[in-house]
């Protein structure tokens, strides 16, 4: 009877064990099949998405692939019939146990390829090895929106190739930068902080002790941006935010920044403050690697360019080796509406293009109606180039003066502000210049300007003629890729001498003039005198390019303009357009009063003299 009872108990125990094993197998199958749930049915009117890849390392008999170089350990999770067994197996293979996971009978392990192979040579009971896969928060911030303009000016393709503006510093003279720097805090290359210095010119003027001479960190404290314009401009140039498309939101995401506050919370400023800001940037250019000055501001023209103190300051900056990028102004489309310092012949003056709310349709891009046009009083063709400046989205404070004035332009989710103006176009161009200097750090300001113009794409009609005159679009829409690969030289500021200009020895005029019918044109040029004549001249050391023939218009390139505003006709921004005589329309010549408006031009008195500022344009 005892034997029968013992046998019955053994059978019951075996039966229970068998049932437990069956349940465990079923449960295991259920768990493993639940790792990759079946995809939901795809609606007929939508494109199906690729299935998730099979988690091969989680299969029962699968062995994870060791992707690290020989001798370099990777992290794994090693599971066995017990934690102790898993630990002994790892140690026997020569690996390092990084922690216990008793809840799943496993340990964390660090193994190289040889140790991983040893682990499988004599597998312990229940051995399974998993890659220590990465996980991320399901509460990650929503994807950032696409800004489009880096792609529209050929910058995104340069980012892919590693050209991001790294090593270049852009000084932004504006309303400051927001304390919550967001995508301006760290560059795409990891530099943090990448706002290297901040200087408040207004504070320094009002409180001379604000920046003690012997203080080591006096330029490291935040000055904030109570307006929003300065942060917006800085973000266009430098945002390292990545959009949902995988593209950077800024034109030069790897660039460094220096913020110089020269405008107040209302976006207004004084000549003194802007000039003092330029002076500070010149003095600090070596300390912070400043190569570019962005001046997204404008003031009415009050005099010849050489008699204007703000223009004298930007000429000095240019002569010191800084590339100065300025806004043309938002007073277009009338001729001769370029402001100060955009009317300066040396600097890069930028007009604005809008994509007409069709960012991927290049044929829809138009010259913005607000974009100021040339020529200048001295006959120079302006702007040199145009860039995207219509409804430009960028990171900016959501409680600044601009946000309060134009709440309809604010997207509180990020926060971003959408603005239009040549201020924004200048910022896009400063970003392109930073990319150009990243790829070619030894370029002079004149050569940067030359290659920027050489790489630009003018708007043309289907018949190949210019859709806009050079007085409206200059050399065309900036293109980072074409400018970076350009080898052009000596095609900008030819005939100009900034040192002679600043010293008053000689001043210059351009080739533009106006005929009796009110049409603007480019004057023909007589061949220069012989070398002996030039050497005997008291100014023989200065560039002489020939004599302007005031009454003769060049018939090349369709350069005649009647002053009419830009049309809405479909255009092509052509990368294959060839200027029949180079960019000689941008050359400078010894100043004379041989311009038809010389005696009838009225200097603007619509604003307080010696004041400058910003005023957003209407959205286009």
* DSSP one-letter code for 233: H
Please indicate, yes or no, whether residues 70 and 196 belong to a single structural domain of this protein. Answer: no
- The runs of H, that is alpha helices, within 62-181 are 83-93, 113-121, 149-152, 156-160
Mean of the per-residue pLDDT values of the chain: 81
- Which helix (H) or strand (E) segment holds residue 295: the answer is strand 290-295
Residue whose token pair is 């040549």 = 422
Residue 398 lies in a domain: yes
How far apart CA 309 and CA 318 sit, in angstroms, is 14
Partner residues linked to 378 by β-bridges? none
Sequential DSSP letters for 178-195: -SS-GGGSS-TT--SS-E
Specify the higher pLDDT residue, 222 or 22.
222
Mean pLDDT of 235-245: 95
Q: How far is CA 157 from the centre of its chain?
A: 12
Contacts of 254 (CB under 8 A, 6+ apart): 164, 165, 166, 187, 188, 189, 191, 240, 438
**Which pLDDT band holds residue 608 (cuts at 50, 70, 90)?**
very low
Under DSSP, the state recorded for 550 is E
Kindly state whether residues 276 and 349 are assigned to the same domain: yes
- Lowest-confidence region among 100-104, 536-540, 589-593: 536-540
Looking at the fold, whether 101 and 163 belong to one and the same domain comes out as no
Q: Nearest Cα to 102, choosing from 126, 80, 124, 130?
A: 80
Half-sphere exposure at residue 321, Cβ-oriented, CA atoms within 13 angstroms: 12
- Alpha-carbon distance of 314 to 292, in angstroms, equals 12
Beta bridge partners of 611: 270
- The more confidently predicted of residues 489 and 10 is 489
Asked whether the whole model's pTM tops 0.85, one would answer: no
Identify whether residues 64 and 202 lie together within a single domain.
Answer: no
Q: Is residue 600 part of a domain?
A: no
Q: Classify residue 20: in a domain, yes or no.
A: no
33 found inside a domain: no
Using a 10 angstrom Cβ sphere, with 0-12 exposed, 13-18 middle and 19 or more buried, the burial of residue 18 is exposed
pLDDT (tens digit per residue) in 120-145 = 998 999 999 988 876 644 444 567 99
How many domains does the chain divide into? 2
Domain assignment of residue 582, yes or no? no
Question: What's the average model confidence in pLDDT over 483-504?
Answer: 92
Structure tokens at 141: 């911030």
Same domain, 221 and 126: no
Choose the final residue of a domain: 472, 501, 530: 501
Q: How far apart are the C-alpha atoms of 273 and 253, rounded to whole Å?
A: 28
Which of 131, 160, 185 finishes a domain? 131
Residue 369 shares a structural domain with residue 428: yes
Let me know whether 385 and 485 are in one domain: yes
Give the rounded percent of residues in the chain with a pLDDT score beyond 90: 54
337 and 189 together in one domain = yes
**CA distances in angstroms from 540 to 190, 254, 593, listed in the order given:** 51, 44, 21
Q: What is the CATH number of the domain that holds 399?
A: 3.40.50.200
Tell me what pLDDT residue 135 has. 62
Instruction: Convert the pLDDT of each residue in 47-57 to its tens digit.
Output: 333 333 443 34
Q: Are residues 295 and 241 in the same domain?
A: yes
Q: Is 308 exposed, middle or buried (0-12, 13-18, 19+ CB in 10 A)?
A: buried
pLDDT given at position 105: 92
What pLDDT, on a 0 to 100 scale, did the predictor assign at position 66?
67
- Look at strands 256-261 and 195-200 and give their pairing: parallel
Per-residue buried b or exposed e for 255-287, using 16+ beta carbons within 10 Å of the residue's own CB? bbbbbbbbbbbebbbbbbbbbbbbebbbebbee
Catalytically active residues are 174, 229, 423
Reported as a pLDDT band with limits 50, 70 and 90, residue 544 is very low
How large is the average pLDDT for residues 301-321? 93
Buried b (16+ CB within 10 A) or exposed e, 384-419: bbbbbbbbbbbbbbbebbbbeeeeebbeeebbbbbb
What is the per-residue pLDDT for 423?
Answer: 94
Q: For the CA atoms of 514, 519, 520, 525, what is the dihedral angle to 10 degrees?
A: -70
Question: Which pLDDT tens digit goes with each residue over 386-404?
Answer: 999 999 999 998 889 999 9
Query: CA gyration radius for the chain?
Result: 33
Query: Are 587 and 528 within 8 A, CB to CB?
Result: no
Residue 181: inside a domain: yes
164 and 122 in a common domain: no
Q: Please, which residues have CB within 8 angstroms of residue 620's CB and are 6 or more apart in sequence?
A: 354, 356, 366, 368, 369, 370, 390, 391, 420
Model pLDDT, residue 529: 53
Q: Locate the DSSP E strands across 515-588.
A: 520-526, 547-553, 572-573, 580-583
Q: Per the structure block, which two tokens stand in for 333?
A: 């489309």
- Residue 302, domain member (yes or no): yes
Q: Which domain holds residue 98?
A: 56-131
Three-class secondary structure of residue 373 per DSSP = coil
Q: Which of 124-133, 491-500, 576-585 has the lowest mean pLDDT?
A: 576-585
- Residue 333 and residue 198 share a domain: yes
Q: In what order do the strands lie in the sheet with 128-131?
A: 96-101, 106-111, 74-79, 128-131
Instruction: Report pLDDT for 532.
Output: 44
User: In this structure, what CATH number is given to the domain that contains residue 84?
Assistant: 3.30.70
Residues 259 and 156 in one domain: yes
Strand runs (DSSP E) across 24-159, as ranges? 74-79, 96-101, 106-111, 128-131
Domain-ending residue, one of 471, 501, 531: 501
Flag whether 314 is in a domain.
yes
CA 514 to CA 520: how far, in whole Å? Answer: 4
Instruction: Give the integer Cα–Cα distance in Å for 188 and 181.
Output: 14
């Amino acid at each position: 009877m005892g034997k029968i009872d013992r046998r019955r108990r053994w059978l019951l125990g075996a039966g229970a064990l068998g049932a437990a094993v069956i349940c465990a197998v079923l449960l295991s199958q259920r768990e493993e099949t639940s790792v990759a749930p079946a995809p939901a049915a795809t609606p007929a009117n939508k494109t199906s998405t690729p299935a998730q890849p099979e988690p091969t390392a989680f299969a029962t008999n699968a062995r994870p692939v060791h992707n690290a170089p020989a001798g370099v350990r990777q992290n794994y999770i090693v599971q066995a019939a017990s934690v102790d067994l898993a630990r002994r197996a790892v140690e026997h293979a020569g690996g390092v146990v990084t922690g216990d996971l008793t809840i799943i009978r496993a340990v964390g392990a660090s193994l190289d390829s040889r140790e991983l192979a040893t682990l499988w040579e004599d597998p312990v009971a229940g051995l399974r090895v998993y890659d220590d896969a990465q996980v991320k928060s399901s509460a990650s911030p929503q994807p950032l929106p696409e800004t489009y303009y880096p792609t529209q000016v050929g910058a995104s393709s340069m980012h892919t190739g590693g050209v991001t503006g790294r090593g270049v510093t852009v000084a932004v003279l504006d309303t400051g930068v927001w304390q919550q720097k967001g995508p301006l805090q760290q560059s795409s290359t990891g530099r943090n902080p990448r706002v290297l210095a901040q200087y408040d010119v207004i504070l320094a003027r009002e409180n001379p002790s604000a920046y003690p001479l012997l203080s080591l960190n006096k330029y490291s404290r935040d000055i904030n941006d109570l307006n929003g314009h300065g942060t917006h401009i800085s973000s266009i140039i430098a945002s390292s935010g990545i959009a949902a498309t995988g593209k950077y939101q800024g034109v030069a995401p790897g660039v460094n920044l220096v913020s110089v506050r020269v405008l107040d919370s209302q976006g207004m400023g004084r000549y003194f403050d802007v000039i003092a800001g330029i002076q500070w940037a010149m003095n600090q250019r070596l300390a912070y690697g400043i190569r570019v000055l962005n001046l997204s501001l404008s003031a009415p023209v009050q005099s010849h360019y050489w008699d204007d103190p703000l223009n004298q300051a930007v000429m000095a900056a240019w002569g010191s080796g800084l590339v100065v990028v300025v806004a043309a102004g938002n007073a277009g489309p009338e001729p001769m509406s370029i402001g100060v310092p955009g009317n300066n012949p040396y600097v890069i003056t930028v007009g604005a293009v809008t994509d007409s709310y069709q960012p991927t349709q290049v044929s829809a891009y138009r010259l913005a109606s607000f974009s100021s046009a040339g020529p200048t009083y001295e006959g120079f063709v302006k702007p040199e180039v145009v860039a995207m400046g219509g409804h430009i989205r960028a990171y900016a404070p959501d409680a600044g003066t601009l946000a309060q004035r134009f709440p309809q332009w604010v997207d509180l989710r990020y926060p971003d502000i959408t603005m239009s103006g040549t201020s924004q176009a200048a910022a896009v161009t400063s970003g392109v210049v930073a990319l150009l200097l990243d790829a070619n750090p030894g370029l002079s300001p004149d050569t940067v300007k030359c290659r920027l113009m050489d790489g630009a794409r003018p708007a043309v009609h289907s018949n190949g003629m210019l859709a806009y005159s050079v007085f409206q679009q200059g050399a065309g829409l900036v293109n980072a890729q074409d400018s970076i690969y350009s080898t052009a030289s000596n095609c900008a500021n030819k005939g100009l001498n900034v040192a002679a200009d600043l010293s008053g020895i000689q001043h210059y005029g351009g080739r533009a003039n106006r005929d009796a019918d009110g049409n603007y044109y480019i004057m023909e040029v007589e061949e220069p005198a012989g070398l002996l004549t030039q050497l005997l001249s008291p100014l023989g050391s200065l560039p002489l390019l020939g004599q302007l023939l005031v009454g003769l218009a060049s018939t090349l390139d369709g350069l005649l303009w009647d002053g009419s505003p830009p049309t809405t006709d479909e255009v092509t921004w052509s990368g294959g357009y060839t200027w029949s005589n180079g960019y000689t329309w941008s050359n400078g010549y010894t100043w004379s009063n041989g311009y038809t408006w010389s005696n009838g031009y009225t200097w603007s008195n619509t604003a307080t003299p010696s004041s400058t500022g910003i005023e957003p344009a209407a959205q286009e």
